[in-house]
Every structure is written in structure tokens, then in C-alpha cells.
């Protein structure tokens, strides 16, 4: 039986996450403290999204909820406080992969703060209230889903045993073990076999049913120390030998992108048990 061992929400795309004891799960991802997963996103002045792939120091930008604000810290910087109450103002047209979205511009002060933190000119965009961005139905069997500024789907699932298996191989190759935060999941489960999430058809907890739909192809972000923002040896060379997926043209995959099939508005809590249905 799968036990939910970690819940992580990422307020700002590609920045540090918030570890939670409970969160509301919706068709567009996790929600807690009035914040949705990947509700904010850093972009260039032209609206192109930024990630740790280009700016690994984004890992050291840490958001926390303080009163009615999202307090954001970074090494050597005074904290920035963003109001949780959404303010209307200038609009940004932002690009995330193949999608173009109208977003709220969080203003010049936020842009200057993040620009100093990253050493580049940028703007902070916030997803507008209302329907989230539709996700591809290619992998969902036609089932509709949506997300805010997540890359692909609203939830990312990884089993603790999968990371354990990765680290057995990392240590055997003379590399350091990797912490779970290198893979930036929303949901971590204990009590499953290594990579059981690859062939899990659904996870059921009360009225909530989560459906894994697509393997998560990995970029260089797992090489970045999430505490320091410093890249290290890329683990993909070790993972390549047994985690390359032909269905994704040989991409190295760890974790499963998921959609919420039932139970939008329900609450997930660390320690909850899921009934796992396998796909064979």
C-alpha cells in the first residue's frame, strides 16, 4: 500500500518548494495557504519563461507564507513580500513551451529584486484568476486536465523506493546519493516497489483518484544542488543505462506526471494511504 510521505507545492516555477502536511488537490494541482502550485513564474522582458536550466540560482530563491504575503528570500538579499491578494494591473503575455498565456505583471519592485537575485533582467508574472491552462490530452486517453505554469501536468509523483534504487547505483558509481528535492515532485509515496509508479494505473484515497499518465523526461536540473544552486555531476549518464524510455524517444525518465481523475477540492495529508491499482 502506498503511503503519502511528502507533499510539496512550488509557488514560483523553478524556485524552492513549500513542504506541506496537507493540501487541497484540484484539477490544476495542489493548493494551500491560498497559493496554487506554480502560480508565479519568472520571464524575460519578452515573456519567455526562465528555469533552473539556465539560472540554477533560482533553486536558492525560497518562498514562505507570512500572514497575507508570500515572503521570498535569497542569499544576500533583503526579503521580498508579495501580497497574496491578487492585484489587477499591467498584463504580460508569457510563453511557456508551446503555450502563450496572459498573466499579471507583479511590478517593477519585484522585477528589480529578482533581477538582482539572478543577475539578469526579468519580470515576475502571476497566473490570472480563472480557468487554468489546458494540458495535452495526448497521454490522458482524452481526459481533460489543466495546470498553471507547470511544464506538463498538474502533479508529479515519485516513490521513495525509486530514489533508493537510483542512489544504490549512484553510490556504486562512486557518486554521492541524491536527495528527493533534485527531482522536484509534488507527491512522494512510501511503501511501493522501485519505479512502481511507472505502471500504476491510479491511486485512490477516499473520493480522490490520481492517475499517472506520462513518464517525466528529465533535463539537467537533477544535477543542481537545491540548497546552493550549484550544479554538480549530472546523474543522467548513470540513469541513462536503465531509465531511458523508448516511448519518449530515449529520454531519461524519473517519476510520473499525473492528473486528478476524481475528487477535486479534496484534501491530501501526509500519512494518508492510497489504494494503488496497477496497469497489468
**pLDDT higher than threshold 90 for residue 1:** no
The per-residue pLDDT for range 228-250, each reduced to its tens digit, is 999 999 999 999 999 999 999 99
Q: pTM (2 decimals)?
A: 0.97
- Tell the CATH superfamily of the 2-32+137-278 domain: PK beta-barrel domain-like (2.40.33.20)
pLDDT score of 87:
81
pLDDT score of 256:
98
Share of the chain above pLDDT 70, in %: 100
The backbone torsions φ and ψ at residue 180, rounded to the nearest 5 degrees and listed phi first, read: -60, -30
d(C-alpha 109, C-alpha 114), whole Å: 9
The per-residue pLDDT for range 39-69, each reduced to its tens digit, is 999 999 999 999 999 999 999 999 999 999 9
**Distances, alpha carbon 88 to alpha carbons 67, 85, 91, in Å:** 20, 10, 8
Given pLDDT bands bounded at 50, 70 and 90, which one contains residue 131?
confident
**pLDDT higher than threshold 90 for residue 23:** yes
Query: Maximum CA pair distance of the chain?
Result: 54
Sorted by sequence, the CB contacts under 8 Å of residue 152 that are 6+ apart come out as 135, 136, 214, 216, 257
Mean per-residue pLDDT, 12-35:
98
Question: Where along the chain do its domains lie?
Answer: 2-32+137-278, 35-133
d(C-alpha 97, C-alpha 82), whole Å: 26
The per-residue pLDDT for range 99-108, each reduced to its tens digit, is 999 999 999 9
- Choose among 259, 253, 243, 257: nearest CA to 217: 253
Amino acid at each position: 500500500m502506498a503511503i503519502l510521505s511528502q507533499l510539496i507545492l512550488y509557488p514560483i516555477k523553478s524556485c524552492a518548494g513549500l513542504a506541506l502536511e496537507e493540501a487541497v488537490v484540484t484539477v490544476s494541482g495542489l493548493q494551500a495557504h491560498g497559493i496554487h502550485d506554480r502560480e508565479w513564474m519568472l520571464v524575460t522582458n519578452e515573456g519567455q519563461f526562465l528555469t533552473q536550466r539556465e539560472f540554477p540560482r533560482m533553486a536558492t530563491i525560497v518562498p514562505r507564507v507570512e500572514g497575507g504575503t508570500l515572503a521570498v528570500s535569497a542569499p544576500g538579499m533583503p526579503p521580498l513580500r508579495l501580497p497574496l491578494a491578487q492585484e489587477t494591473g499591467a498584463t504580460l503575455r508569457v510563453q511557456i513551451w508551446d503555450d502563450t498565456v496572459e498573466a499579471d505583471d507583479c511590478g517593477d519592485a519585484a522585477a528589480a529584486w529578482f533581477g538582482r537575485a539572478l543577475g539578469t533582467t526579468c519580470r515576475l508574472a502571476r497566473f490570472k484568476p480563472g480557468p487554468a491552462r489546458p494540458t495535452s490530452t495526448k497521454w490522458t486517453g482524452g481526459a481533460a486536465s489543466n495546470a498553471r505554469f507547470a511544464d506538463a501536468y498538474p502533479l508529479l509523483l515519485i516513490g521513495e523506493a525509486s530514489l533508493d534504487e537510483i542512489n544504490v547505483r549512484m553510490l556504486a558509481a562512486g557518486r554521492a546519493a541524491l536527495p528527493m528535492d533534485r527531482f522536484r515532485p509534488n507527491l512522494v509515496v512510501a511503501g511501493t516497489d522501485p519505479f512502481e509508479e511507472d505502471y500504476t494505473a491510479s491511486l485512490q484515497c477516499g473520493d480522490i483518484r490520481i492517475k499517472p499518465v506520462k513518464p517525466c523526461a528529465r533535463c539537467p536540473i537533477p544535477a543542481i544542488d537545491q540548497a546552493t544552486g550549484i550544479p554538480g555531476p549530472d546523474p543522467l549518464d548513470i540513469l541513462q543505462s536503465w531509465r531511458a524510455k523508448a516511448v519518449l524517444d530515449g529520454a531519461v525518465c524519473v517519476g510520473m506526471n499525473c492528473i486528478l481523475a476524481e475528487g477535486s477540492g479534496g484534501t491530501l495529508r501526509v500519512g494518508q494511504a492510497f489504494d494503488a491499482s496497477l496497469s497489468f
